[in-house]
Amino acid sequence: MPARIAELQRLGWLSEADAGLLAHGGHVLLTSSADKMIENVVGVFGLPFAIVPNLLVNGRDYIVPMVVEEPSIVAGVSNAAKLSREMGGITAASSESLLAGQIHITKIGNVETALSALGEAQEELLAAANAVHPRLIERGGGARELETHLLELSGERAAIAAHLLVDTRDAMGANLVNTMCEAIAPRVAELCGGQVALRILSNLTDRSLVNARVQFQLDETVRDGIVLASDIAQADPYRAATHNKGVMNGIDAVAIATGNDWRAIEAGAHAFAASSGRYLPMATWSVSADGALRGELTIPLKVGTVGGTRDVNPAARLGLRIAGVEAAQELAELMAATGLLQNFAALRALATSGIQAGHMKLHARSVALSAGVPDALFDEVVAELTAGGEIKAWRAQEILAEKQDKARTGEGSAGHAAGKIILLGEHAVVYGRHALALPVSNAVVATVSAGGASLHPPEIESMVGLIRRELGIDEHYSVTVSSALPIAMGLGASAAFAVAIVRAFDAELGKGLDDAAVNAIAFKCERLAHGTPSGIDNTIATFGQSMLFRRGDVLEANPLNLNEVPPIVIGCSHTTGLTRDLVDGVRSRRERNPGHYDSIFDQMDALSREGAQALQVSDYGKLGELMNVNHGLLNAIGVSTPELENMVSLARAAGAAGAKLTGAGGGGSIVALCPGKVEQVRAALEAAGFRTLELDQE
Ligand code: NAD
């Protein structure tokens, strides 16, 4: 995902500020703001925020923001958008955008007299409505017409519905129009010689119709399948409902992403679909004279780019910036285009392979994600899950275990390595103070075998090259790495990869390297990747033991003997921190305030040493307090982030004795010490969307 954001920024679709908001979750509505929007708020609810590239509408390129939880919708629109470009994209148009406010009058003395009185007073009523919103007139909008409808109620009663048609410019207009209706309702009742019953807008916004058209050049069988599906929807309201649901899949997702009232849109769309007295499909498909598939959607869309809750919801404002629309009517046209393409994608899937296959593939990806399948094996596990048809978390874990076993015991040789967490003392260690680090056991397994294809992240290609040169290997070997550690999360993944690969080569070639030799090669790999590494990561990766470190001219490493694996939960944030930048930042701040910084580092030093003693006697209460103090100090030197603070608070609220960021900060991970509360803390972090790990990956 970070790569996707960076690419959008590079292509100029996202500003640097918006890319930063997305990368750090800064666009998400705060609970405190949510509390001001509606009643009885207890939190904020998340949904996936995606984009569709390549949409060409009326000759202009768009990136469409979509917020939706259902798999395949974004993929469907994206493919359709790309395909539609071959024949010039989508043409969308709307001739007017008026919202009707209704004033219902009952108990009318003489209906005929009432209707003619309203007709005569039209100008007076429009002026009275416009007087309520002078700014709207300045913006070129305002009340335009007054229509009247005679209604027959039950019991032979009559009612008049006076429709005030208002050009609301870039606002959806519900509140604007309601205020106007309330203002003129008493006069309308007086003119009718009746009583006011209701005064509110209508959501059947058929004076804001948008029309979108598209053509596709398709294989004849698929084309005819789509036309047949369209004809069936025309004849069968049961099918038309699902057909229209497909259209709304696209439209609602854009509506939510841009802060629009999707219930209003839904109500209008379905009322319009049934306005002939029969529920009909809103999008229809036919074959053009030149044999192309021709699609057309007509739908009422009264949407806004201003007003509503946009001022409080930063995600809606971001959605609008991504859509890049200048006016509400342009947004309505973009929505109609998206709805038409989504309808096409659904019908094409139905007419060809069936819609379920696409759904299942995406479902398999979320199942694999929830089963904790590591990146290196992710695509393989998803492929097997989909092929097997049993798309369940237990099956994903079974496939993963089979693959990891193969990596350990299959042909070729395996090497293991540990990941690391810094429990206390990061940053201070750069200035000669102590740091306490623990291994994440069995975190990485590498396998090498002669021939075959490699399966490892492309980022470690240069590391594999260096190891081969160090070991003098010319022949082709495939290198496969299976890792429980996310990369660039402050958990020592790169050092663990290096150690595991060196050990696997050593086992395969019988070189007889001892741990010191393995460690030395891994340190060279770390230098290649990080410039001036401390040496802690490769040492822990090699020896897999808890250690108290101090960096003088050489790295002093004092192993600790622990009675048990400490009850630690690691939580991974959504942001990677660049160690080098963070260390540089601390350095320059220290140069400005050497006294303060050095005394903080001294405190961190004491925390690491006391922490090592507490750890050895499993005094987790004490150790947790030391971790909390250390986190406060790390915050003080400017390496924490709002996301890390949130994670630390979540862990503590779920019962952790201590929680702090680990590693360089600026993103990366947190560690929480959770005696008796491992499950609770893990569940709290996962419920908030953070991936977790424990200290022993076996
Ligand atoms: P709003 O009440 O926020 O009014 C829009 C504001 O934007 C006005 O103050 C207007 O002066 C200002 N504005 C600034 N620039 C403008 C421009 N270029 N064009 C037009 N106005 C501009 O919003 P609204 O659109 O009147 O109402 C929308 C809200 O009403 C939605 O949140 C919706 O959920 C809610 N609502 C809907 C219904 C319904 O659909 N039945 C009923 C009641 C309320």
Known catalytic membership, residue 261: yes
Q: How confident is the model at residue 451 (pLDDT cuts 50, 70, 90)?
A: low
pLDDT digits (tens, 9 = 90+) for 151-186: 999 998 999 999 999 999 999 999 999 999 999 999
Q: Is 70 a catalytic residue?
A: yes
- Tell me the C-alpha distance between 324 and 321, whole Å: 5
User: Is 142 close to ligand 1, i.e. is its CB under 6 Å away?
Assistant: no
Tell me the pLDDT tens digit for each residue of 480-529.
888 888 888 889 999 999 999 999 999 988 888 999 999 999 999 998 88
Give the ligand 1 atom nearest the CA of 264: 40
CA 116 and chain centroid, separation: 56
Per-position b or e across 236-268, b if 16+ CB within 10 A of its CB: ebebbeebbebbbbbbbbbbbbbbbbbebbbbb
State residue 243's pLDDT score. 98
Atom of ligand 1 nearest to the CA of 327: 18
pTM value surpassing 0.95: no
Angstrom distance (rounded) from CA 170 to CA 189? 30
Name the active-site residue from 261, 384, 610, 625: 261
Q: How far apart are the first and last CA of the chain?
A: 29
For atom 15 of ligand 1, which residue has the closest CA?
Answer: 306
Is 149 an annotated catalytic residue?
no
- What is the three-state SS of 369-414? HHCCCCHHHHHHHHHHHHHHCCCCHHHHHHHHHHHHHHHHHCCCEE
Give the per-residue pLDDT at 407: 57
Query: Residue 389: left if φ>0, alpha if ψ -120 to 50, beta else—which one?
Result: left
What single DSSP character describes residue 117? Answer: H
- What is the per-residue pLDDT across 340-391, written as a single tens digit (0 to 9) for each? 999 999 999 888 765 556 667 777 887 888 777 777 678 778 888 887 777 8
- Is the distance from the beta carbon of residue 307 to the nearest atom of ligand 1 less than 6 Å? yes
- Kindly give the distance from the C-alpha atom of residue 305 to the centroid of ligand 1, in angstroms, as a whole number: 9
Q: Say whether 511 is catalytic.
A: no
Q: Is 139 in the pocket of ligand 1 (CB under 6 A)?
A: yes
* pLDDT value of position 475: 80
Its sign, for the CA torsion 476, 477, 478, 480, is negative
Structure tokens at 306: 């201003």
Pocket test for ligand 1, best of 164, 261, 303 (most atoms within 8 A of CB): 261
Ligand 1: does its nearest atom lie under 6 Å from the Cβ of 167?
Answer: no
What is the whole-number distance in angstroms between the Cα of residue 575 and the centre of ligand 1? 36
**Is residue 171 lining ligand 1, measured as CB closer than 6 Å?**
yes
- Residue 698 is predicted with a pLDDT of 56
The stretch 395-418 carries a mean pLDDT of 76
Which atom of ligand 1 is least distant from the CA of 261? 34
Q: What's the pLDDT band for 679 if we cut at 50, 70, 90?
A: very high
Q: Which residues touch 166 (CB under 8 Å, ≥6 apart)?
A: 98, 99, 100, 101, 129, 136, 141, 142, 143, 144, 173, 176, 177, 180
Which residue owns the Cα nearest ligand 1 atom 30?
Answer: 174
Helix (H, G, I), strand (E, B) or coil at 279: coil
Mean pLDDT of 408-412: 61
Q: What CA–CA distance (Å, rounded) separates 300 from 316?
A: 21
What's 441's DSSP letter? Answer: E
Alpha carbon distance 429, 505 (integer Å) = 32
259 lines ligand 1 (CB under 6 A): no
